[in-house]
Homo-oligomer: A and B are copies of this chain.
Amino acid sequence: MPYEVKSLNEECGLFGVWGSPDAAQLTYFGLHALQHRGQEGAGITANDHGVLQSERGFGLLADVFRDPSKLARLTGTAAIGHVRYTTAGNHGLENIQPLSFNFSDSQFALAHNGNLTNAVTLRRRLEMHGAIFHASSDSEILMHLVRRSPAATLTDQVKDALRQVHGGFAYLLMTNDRLFAALDPNGFRPLVVGQLPTGGYVVCSETCALDAVGAKFIQDVEPGQLLTIDDHGLKIDHYTTDTQLAICSMEYIYFARPDSDIHGVNVHSARKRMGARLAQEQPVDADIVVGVPNSSLSAATGYAEASGLPYEMGLIKNQYSSRTFIQPTQALREQGVRMKLSAVKGVVAGKRVVLIDDSIVRGTTSRRIVKLLKDAGAKSVHLRIASPPLRYPCFYGIDIQTTKELIAAQKSIPEMCETFGADSLGFLSEQGVIDAVGLKVDAPYGGLCMAYFNGDYPTPLYDYQAEYDEEIRQLQKSQSRGD
């Protein structure tokens, strides 16, 4: 589960249900299970006999729906919901999803997880033809494309629109009489469909949300598929067959919940295998293995088992941290005031510690944790990262769009080790990730997107190509200066 001091953010979680008298409540519970995918906004749109009503707000789901009358208002037998990480500049309530569209003769609600690579081009073209955008996010582009499609049926209009957007996307689109779900041709983001014991259908980002509402898993939504759910049941179709699975490897490494399965692979188990492989690739002569809570605990137990070293609770996370509004001043921080993590002196004092983290973004957290352990008496701290160095931006839905934020893009491994104050530093190899996940698909990188590690993007970058080229040029310049 995401660890709040890491500056790495998934942009969304989706949940939709069709055919349950408790549709909005199930959506609430489903989104609650997906809260780790976005904490800055939440919304639900419910469908009561063809009439759509919404509630949306900033903050955690529980804050948005603190007044129980809000959920009670959302009557009906179908609903879609969204939890959101708000990227910079998108702070308006109009960006909290599901987006609502009210036409004279119909209503739509749209929820989107991902990032389009041709959004700027599409938006400019649509505006030249009179389109008005209300939100600043990409998400409303699809609705404009649907409404302007010359196709004869709504389903064909939706397919037509889906073929025009590029990049990473999982969409839920509910209208008065049905619910569409669609995934991009590379399947960058996870999306699954399941069935309730009472017969209704659920589409959501992760299987943990199916479990949370007691739904039975049916299948992962596949790249290029378009699902339609209505009162006649579930229909699985596709809008394109030009597909190639390249699911985000960071879902397995960091984003998804340990109890979710993605394309048949349990996330906790994959992380444990990454930890075990890391022990083989990057062994250390040490006394104990400590994981950074909570996201790295799976990898840490894997490392411990494979290395034969004892797994210890050397770091404690304050479970109340995320609700804290008052932060220590710099002076207090230097004095040692700490809000979130503490080292267990009785465990680490005098010990040679292998510290397992799942990944490194900016590196600020790593430096702090190494210091914390050393202040608590650790004899040495050997940092082992259960993924390769993050060196390239992501354009498909993770909030890293510049290499300036990535310490591994700026520094060599020895430089990073020195920055962190660690006694040694080692990363898992790319092949290690691929093998540990172990998808049974015939696709590059075993069906994973590894672009943030190796710059090999599975699609053209469209509107981002120019800025990416400039980014790489700057990076090479700074690296050559660094030599």
Contacts and interface: CB of A to CB of B under 8 A. Distances in A.
A319 interface: yes
Given A268-B313, A346-B269, A347-B269, A25 B328 contact: yes
Interface string A233-262: 000000000000000000000000111010
A100 B29 contact: no
Contacts of A472: none
Contact of A132 (B131, B328, B331, B332): B131
A116 to B, nearest CB: 14
Given A1-B319, A22-B332, A259-B343, A211 B338 contact: yes
Interface stretch (A119-127, A224-232, A442-450): A119-127
B26 A323 contact: no
Interface string A29-43: 100110110000000
A49 interface: no
What is the interface of chain A mostly: helix, strand, loop, or mixed?
mixed
Contacts of A177: none
Contacts of A261: 345-346
B134 A102 contact: yes
A438 interface: no
Interface of A: 1, 22, 25-26, 28-29, 32-33, 35-36, 54, 60-63, 65-66, 68, 71, 92-94, 100-105, 120, 123-124, 127, 129-134, 136, 140, 143-144, 147-148, 196-198, 208, 211-214, 257-259, 261, 266, 268-269, 294, 297-298, 301, 305, 310-313, 316, 318-320, 322-326, 328-329, 331-332, 335-339, 342-347
Given A103-B133, A198-B335, A319-B322, 5 more contacts: A29-B328, A29-B337, A132-B147, A297-B313, A301-B311
7 contacts: A1-B319, A25-B328, A62-B323, A134-B134, A259-B345, A266-B346, A301-B311
